[in-house]
Structure 1
Amino acid sequence: MVEQADSRATSFKNILLLIADDLGKNLGCYGAEVTTPNIDKFATEGVLFSHAFTSTASCSNSRSVIYTGLHTHQSGQYGLAGKAHHFVIFDHVKTSPAFFGEQGYLTGLIGKVHVGPDYSYPWHVRNESATRDVAWVADQAGEFFDKAKAAEQPFFLTVGYIDPHRDMTRSGFGNSEIFDARIKDIPYEPSSIKVPAYINNLDESRFEFSEYYSSISRLDQGIGLILESLKARGLEDDTLVVFLSDNGPPFLNSKTTLYDPGVRLPFIVRNPKAAVKGIENPNMVSYVDIFPTFLEWTGKTQHAPTILAGQSIFPILEKSELVPESEWKHRVFGSHTFHEVTNYWPTRFLRTRRYKYHRNVAWRLDFPFSADLYGSLTWDAIRHSQPRGKEGDILVGQRKLSDYIFRPPEELYDLDEDPLELVNLAVDEKHKERLLEFRGLLEKWQDETLDPWLYRDGVSKRFIQHHLDAGMIVPDRFDLDLENIRIR
């Protein structure tokens, strides 16, 4: 009987999804000077994507994209789920935990949940916790693996790490907490920190990044422990493992923005059946592709939800070169509407390999600060003690503070020449043709995904569609122009 059970177990197609919180590409395997030997080793066993993008740069919103395969404006998860924010997905949306539970999988969540409503995420094992003790997390995962083996069930386990999110202090990342003896403190000297170019190189930012990196190194130890636990139970060869982050680092010009530091993220996939491993994949993938990928891995595509925004990455998973655009997309889209409930600033983006187009729907509003970024020592130093730029402007990274807070209706950047997205080509007549092309592509995507924030004359096109169908004509412009109300 034991041999029969083991034989049946080897035919299962398990899923282990590991989600870091507010982690950018700050890993050794992505070239950062951060101690992450376990994740680096994991990358040598799988595929590291250089051009992976979340659809949105906010925790709950991004997780909903991962779980539903839909953009936030499709699922209804417009902002954060917790506390007074209370954003959740629509009742009709099928999540991956619900789907795989119906397909006979043992489903589980350990750590951070941060999505809702609860009935749309019916994990069989829901071990929600705010602990940063990654050894405890690995132990809980081991118990889950044992439960799946005993039940002779395939499993889908999500681990939502708290690291390296900021804690509730002004500059901390949980490093003063007490942890299991298996977890070692890995300190970083602030004076040796190389601050990323998108943020200011200040004493305060170097200190905060030193704390941030310690949190990342603790996360790395947790990843090592959980992968060891998987292997020790003989499940490694039957489990697709995906490691990623929900959004970029908790600093200005990153988290809550759709600039690349906020949405271009670590994404590593280990397929135990792959013939090719230890490669860097340059093809563009989006988090809307994750649910379809799980469907293909498990062979459940025939039962899939009818509407998903992405596609499985399996056709290009083992590619270390760019595939032709006829075989795979060379652009991604994204949408952001809220972070906290008071952070309303709807914006959409189109990203190709070279260019980035932003459509800022509510551009007349100030760009809002999230509470954790506003309280940070880095922002405090920027606003009070930072030397000014050549023209006397306060700078956020290399961007004028005024340009960070007051943004135009459209932004267009050449990322080969301008990776920090500073020089807005949308106002350059030489780039008008490209601007119109990207505007059209984005609006087509908004139409196809029923985006309520596709505006005409200051009103949602979706919500006046019945009037348009009845013959109403509105100006072909984004915003209401009070000086030119009539249609010419």
Structure 2
Amino acid sequence: MKANLFKSIVVVIVLVFTNCTEKVNEVAITESNRPNIILFVADDHGTDALGAYGNPVIKTPNLDELAIEGTKFTNAYCTSASCAASRSVILSGKFGHATGSYGHVHDYHHFSTYDNVKSLPVLLENDGYETARIGKYHVAPEKVYHFKTVLQADPRNTVEMAEQCGDVLNSEKPFFLYFCTDDPHRGQPFEPDPWNAPNNFGNKVEGYKGVETITYDPEDVLVPSFLPDTKESRAEIAQYYQSISRIDQGFGKLMKMLQDSGKADNTIVIYISDNGMAFPGAKTTVYEPGIKLPCIIKDPTNPVKGITNNAMISWVDLTPTILDMAKVSYDEKDFHGKSFKNIIAENKPKGWNEIYASHTFHEITMYYPMRVVRMDNYKLIWNIAWRLEYPFASDLWASSTWQGIYRKDMEYFGPKKVNDFLFRPEFELYDLDEDPEESNNLAADKDFKEVLAVMKTKLRAFQTNTSDPWNIMWGHDTSLQGTGVNL
């Protein structure tokens, strides 16, 4: 009987050991099949300055190659054209009005995300990913947006930044690398001397180590239609281009290192910007140049290359999409966005014809809440504080592009009157197919009364569904205001 008992114990031990071994192997197989993910985020880069998006002047060969090898989205939007507010959405999958991320984090602005928000890097790390960031952070608190590894480099030198990422690229675990440049954000000092000198956009006469200085003649640059075609605008755009060419070189360096690591075939690469170019009429606005941005995604497992995708996607969709790519399970109700992983390889996917935007602050002194819905070709902007003069970001006010108009007391800034730029109606309704410049407001046009009503209904439903405190402005509904008492 003892012999039989001993045999039974041996059999149990073998079965347990075999089962554990199989589970270990299952984990190993699962980990090996999970992709690495690089999210490369530029600072204030619009679709106006990329070869892949139709600019024949600017030199961005590495980013153009990414578009050739992957998918280029032509209707990708941030939700707020302000750095910190936009980045909180990228990493949380929720609109800033629902997380407390109303505007800038740094200095006296001090907007910060609620402690109970579960961010993308935390969710990935909890599921076995190595998470690392380098460059611009601009979100808070750190415990909400925690990365396991923080790398240091000059955020204006993307080549140097790439060189610091070697250990991450060679990680034994699947990795998520959040690579954020300071380029092409305007550089300090914001106030030029003399006033009509162009901002440097981070460019230096002596250049940066390991980076070829690529300059542009102001006469050759393309002036976007929403800007005045002036000497000041052209000089600043030339500096902006130079900064972007520096981004491109660092991106190319990172891709070369990825290839050398042997992991390029299992790494998804995403290139985006946090908001549009740092010029009046783009950054801090919800007009198309401020929120319609580059988005290029290369998934090496996708056999179809060079796709142009017209789906309307938003940065609020990025967190669920990346979690989906990483095979991390999640509850769709935890996010305001939805995964677009399954439509990346398509040209004209159905059901992706609507996006929303929500801007409240940039700097704390720039209170001007705006809410946006775009559906098909129509776009509605609700300027909630429309009785106020439109506030300027400090760097945009000081820009020679704006000062060249302001100091001369000129009537027009680009195609719009200066007065119309500063004082806006409560509602702006545009047909973007007929009016891509957003210059013909249809909100008061009787022929578009029904369209306006539909868009208002959608906007209000969006605010309700995303717990927007500014929903109170429709009818003084105080349901989100709470008791005012800490229990």
Provide the TM-score with structure 1 as the length reference.
0.88
**Residues of 2 paired with 1:465 and 1:134: CA distance?**
46
The match for 2:327 is 299
| Shift in Å, 1:74 | 1.4
The match for 2:392 is 369
Letter matched to residue 24 of structure 1? G
The match for 1:51 is 75
**Residues of 2 paired with 1:119 and 1:179: CA distance?**
36
User: 1:44-78 CA deviation, whole Å, 9 max, x = no partner?
Assistant: 11100011011110001111111000111112110
The match for 2:6 is none
Letter matched to residue 318 of structure 1? A
**Residues of 1 paired with 2:452 and 2:395: CA distance?**
34
Q: 1:64 to 1:295 in 2, by over 3 A?
A: same
Say which of 288, 295, 315 aligns to 1:260.
288
User: 1:94-118 CA deviation, whole Å, 9 max, x = no partner?
Assistant: 1001111111111111000000111
The answer to whether residue 453 in structure 2 is matched with residue 429 in structure 1 is no
Q: Would you say the 8 A contact 2:34–2:327 is kept in 1? A: no
The 5 Å alignment of 1:146-157 reads 146=170, 148=171, 152-157=172-177
The answer to whether residue 216 in structure 2 is matched with residue 194 in structure 1 is no
Say which of 382, 385, 407 aligns to 1:359.
382
The answer to whether residue 167 in structure 2 is matched with residue 143 in structure 1 is yes
Moved more, 203-212 or 165-174: 165-174
**Residues of 1 paired with 2:444 and 2:176: CA distance?**
48
The answer to whether residue 186 in structure 2 is matched with residue 166 in structure 1 is yes
User: 1:342-394 CA deviation, whole Å, 9 max, x = no partner?
Assistant: 111011001123111001111111110001101111111011237x4xxxxx2
Say which of 417, 431, 456 aligns to 2:434.
417
Q: Would you say the 8 A contact 1:81–1:114 is kept in 2? A: yes
| Shift in Å, 1:180 | 4.7
- Matched residue of 2:480: which SS? helix
Moved more, 258-267 or 278-287: 278-287
**Residues of 1 paired with 2:378 and 2:429: CA distance?**
7
Letter matched to residue 214 of structure 1? Q
| Shift in Å, 1:125 | 0.9
User: 1:25-61 CA deviation, whole Å, 9 max, x = no partner?
Assistant: 1100000121100000011111000110111100011
The match for 2:298 is 270
Q: Would you say the 8 A contact 2:120–2:323 is kept in 1? A: no
Q: 1:457 to 1:274 in 2, by over 3 A?
A: closer
| Shift in Å, 1:153 | 1.0
**Residues of 1 paired with 2:265 and 2:337: CA distance?**
26
The 5 Å alignment of 1:36-115 reads 36-115=60-139
Say which of 23, 26, 39 aligns to 2:45.
23
Q: Would you say the 8 A contact 2:273–2:294 is kept in 1? A: yes
Q: Would you say the 8 A contact 2:159–2:251 is kept in 1? A: no
**Residues of 2 paired with 1:456 and 1:183: CA distance?**
50
Q: Would you say the 8 A contact 1:252–1:396 is kept in 2? A: no
Between Structure 1 and Structure 2, how many residues are aligned? Answer: 448
- Matched residue of 2:443: which SS? helix
The 5 Å alignment of 1:300-379 reads 300-301=328-329, 303-304=330-331, 306-320=333-347, 322-324=348-350, 328-379=351-402
| Shift in Å, 1:130 | 5.0
| Shift in Å, 1:205 | 0.4
Q: 1:174 to 1:385 in 2, by over 3 A?
A: same
Unmatched segments (≥5 aa) in structure 2? 1-24, 193-198
Q: 1:247 to 1:457 in 2, by over 3 A?
A: closer
The 5 Å alignment of 1:379-390 reads 379-385=402-408, 388=410
User: 1:185-222 CA deviation, whole Å, 9 max, x = no partner?
Assistant: 11100122221001101000000000000001111111
**Residues of 1 paired with 2:342 and 2:34: CA distance?**
21
- Matched residue of 1:219: which SS? helix
Say which of 113, 116, 132 aligns to 2:156.
132
**Residues of 1 paired with 2:393 and 2:208: CA distance?**
32
- Matched residue of 1:39: which SS? helix
Q: Would you say the 8 A contact 1:351–1:357 is kept in 2? A: yes
Say which of 418, 440, 443 aligns to 2:460.
443
**Residues of 2 paired with 1:385 and 1:395: CA distance?**
11
Q: Over aligned residues, Cα RMSD in angstroms? A: 2.0
**Residues of 2 paired with 1:277 and 1:6: CA distance?**
30
Q: Would you say the 8 A contact 1:112–1:130 is kept in 2? A: no
**Which has the greater radius of gyration?**
2
Q: Would you say the 8 A contact 1:68–1:94 is kept in 2? A: yes
Q: 1:128 to 1:458 in 2, by over 3 A?
A: farther
**Residues of 2 paired with 1:64 and 1:220: CA distance?**
24
**Residues of 2 paired with 1:118 and 1:186: CA distance?**
36
| Shift in Å, 1:254 | 0.3
Q: Would you say the 8 A contact 2:160–2:210 is kept in 1? A: no
